[in-house]
Structure 1
């Protein structure tokens, strides 16, 4: 122990250890580890000075054996001090120093980050960034976004009030950041992280009124020249998936060439990163629900191939989204040319493998529906063995499954 404290249950712990137990956001423990009595996070942890003096004495006696004297512990951060620091964020002359102080405190431990979120730091940071946007002032934006990124995990489930009636201007502010800091990958990644949180909580009416410029800047950051990090890409894909179903957003995305950008992104995603692939396929499914979206996917030489390759390779969610994309294409765009391409790139083989794999019943039914619908074309393919195909769906599946291992 370096800083022994006694909880209200009467048990003494090292401060760092018990605070990690109480304030770790993923566990949310509120009991004493020893007595199992209730131990609220805001309960007092009383310094055990007697035990600390004994520890120091032991360290002194054993100094010749290489034992260092433990340093005097810093007083724990109080909520009152956090509130005062947050107030200083609204004072122009104190903003930069305050951001630096808050970031240093947030980096120390989870307890400090919890106090900051509970004191309203998230809302204050968002207000600060909006103010920078309105004044076209970049100073402090990087520090504010870095601080948000640091406390973001702590804020999950506690930041429902970060959006106000000015949510539109908040999103405009973050688009401004992405456009102005185009060469700063760190700032853009942090801005995208905040944007993702905001979009997830935004009013649906706002999402229906997003302008094309919003999507143009989002898509431009998916391209390799943006240099964006993998985490930033995942945040952007979350944003697209959450916004594309609303209003005309899907149409706007197709008009801006989103499907080409998504296919190119997935082609660069080697080996496939699970979350990226699931998000890309989810967006493609929404965009392929319209005729222009399906046409754009087919116009990309690797459109069908890249969707096909992800079946049975990534996750059950990816399988579902990929098979439904193939179903949309085969149902509404099932020309001979498209169907022959499905044979050539292995789509038919994959659908047959789905029939034999450990997949959901609904996916097997979708695969069977696609195979049955286009059996007349596929049985005449030079890659198939026509003699083995019959009108019976069961024999058809068996025959095409046999074909799958010969492609």
Structure 2
């Protein structure tokens, strides 16, 4: 006999963890095994277990778990989730019967969108009077279910949205771009699918640069969305595109760091700079845009651990060129803030910080710089590194710095010479 809910023996009653329903017993097979809540849109996986659509789609597509939560059997990512209409009707009938007890009726879920429906919406983006309404409908559908999101990605929605962003930036349609960027983020396009769309798309970079520089005081939300999308784009961009990034691009990213739009946006901006450092003369452009000073100022505000690690990683890249080292040692707090972070944040931060000091000592070790390292405690910190539980590569860099300049520091009252003599 079929094991569907229509023929299944009455299951044990189960009290769900919902405060508003504490006095109501809910049939166990109405409960999603993942969320432990009443199912609103029950679907059955190929393993025969029924889940609420939102929960199982999150399990498969967001958490990337390719096994059935109950049976532990594999579930291919492209396998169908079959709507369990019989169970949904039973749940709806049960909710209606218990309405007097405060149970809300569960509405019939809207069917997932199909590819022809997506293509029609994308075609509407080409019609100016339909663009904004179509964008909002696409945004609503993407947020409604993982099934809709996947269908949008597979139907080429990302490419249509990118072309729309480029077009709208030329027409100063900032409201359209804000919704389009939000949808691009929600789509979560896999890197392998995004790369062909952005690999050498300089028009897109120009458009996003315009958005970042657009009325920075009153558009913090759209600037935050822009920098987050830009992070994914720069990671997928070709080396030739990165090499052609302009000074105004780096000025716009630096402005996003300076304005502290949001913690997430600041980290994304630092990621953009870090990836861009590998292209052509970008380090010089980043320094010219004032990013090095802004990063030091950001670090002086005591950000979280990950932000500090990103700050130090970018500073290390910039200090590989003469202009970056000059900016660092010329900043009143440059060497001091690097020294303070050693042994206080993480092993990753220790590595970047010691690398920066090593670079400065190798190429920019003037008498004034070496004296400043003494005064701000950098020399003492390097000695402590050799005694701490640091990696061998970090210790070797610290040892090299101490060995190279011990002749200058040994007579200073700021440090015990015995500390230097231990590790030459």
TM-score (norm. length: structure 2): 0.83
Give the equivalent residue in structure 1 for 2:373.
342
- Residue aligned with 1:5, SS: strand
User: How many angstroms does 1:139 deviate by?
Assistant: 4.2
Matching residue of 2:56: 18
Which of 252, 263, 269 is the equivalent residue of 2:285?
252
Q: Is the 1:83–1:119 contact (alpha carbons within 8 Å) kept by the matching residues of 2?
A: yes
Structure 1 residue 204 corresponds to structure 2 residue 242:
no
Q: 1:374 to 1:75 in 2, by over 3 A?
A: same
Say if 1:6 and 1:13, in contact at 8 Å, map to a contact too: yes
Aligned equivalent of 1:110: 146
Relative to structure 1, is the Cα distance of residues 53 and 235 closer, same or farther in structure 2, using a 3 angstrom cutoff?
closer
2:113 counterpart of 1:80: no
- What is the rounded CA distance, in whole Å, between the counterparts of 2:69 and 2:290 in structure 1? 55
User: Which of 374, 387, 390 is 1:356 aligned to?
Assistant: 387
Q: 1:94–1:116: structure 2 CA closer, same or farther, 3 Å change rule?
A: same
Q: 1:27 aligns with which of 46, 64, 71?
A: 64
Does 34-43 or 7-16 show the bigger shift?
A: 34-43
**How does 1:295-374 map onto structure 2 within 5 Å?**
295-374=326-405
The structural deviation recorded for 1:158 is 4.0
- 2:15 corresponding residue in structure 1: none
Which residue in the other structure is 1:263 paired with? 296
Report SS of the residue matched to 1:222.
Answer: helix
TM-superposed CA distance for 1:274, in Å, is: 2.0
Q: What do residues 114-155 of structure 1 show as CA deviations (whole Å, max 9, x unaligned)?
A: 222222222211110111123343341111112222233x54
Where in structure 1 are there 5+ consecutive unaligned residues?
399-407
Aligned to 1:219: 254
Q: Give the match for residue 289 of structure 1.
A: 320
Does 2:408 match 1:396? no
- 1:193 is aligned, of 191, 211, 228, to 228
- How many Å separate the matches in 1 of 2:316 and 2:198? 29
Alignment of 1:168-183 (within 5 A): 168-183=202-217
Q: 2:106 and 2:251 mapped to 1: Cα distance? A: 56
Q: Matched residue of 1:43: which SS?
A: coil
Give yes or no for the alignment of 1:240 onto 2:273. yes
1:44 maps to which residue?
Answer: 80
Equivalent residue for 2:409, pick from 346, 371, 378? 378
State how many pairs are aligned: 385
Q: Take 2:87 and 2:288, find their aligned partners in 1: how far apart are those partners?
A: 69
Query: Following TM superposition, by how much is the alpha carbon of 1:284 offset from its aligned partner in structure 2, in angstroms?
Result: 1.4
User: Structure 1 pair 8/250, CA: closer, same or farther in 2 (3 Å)?
Assistant: closer
Specify every segment of 5 or more residues in structure 2 that has no aligned partner in the other structure, as ranges. 1-38
Displacement of 1:170: 0.9
CA-to-aligned-CA distance 1:159-213 (integer Å, 9 cap, x gap): 2332265x11110111111122423011111111121111111121222222222
Please report the TM-score for the alignment, with normalisation by the length of structure 1. Answer: 0.87
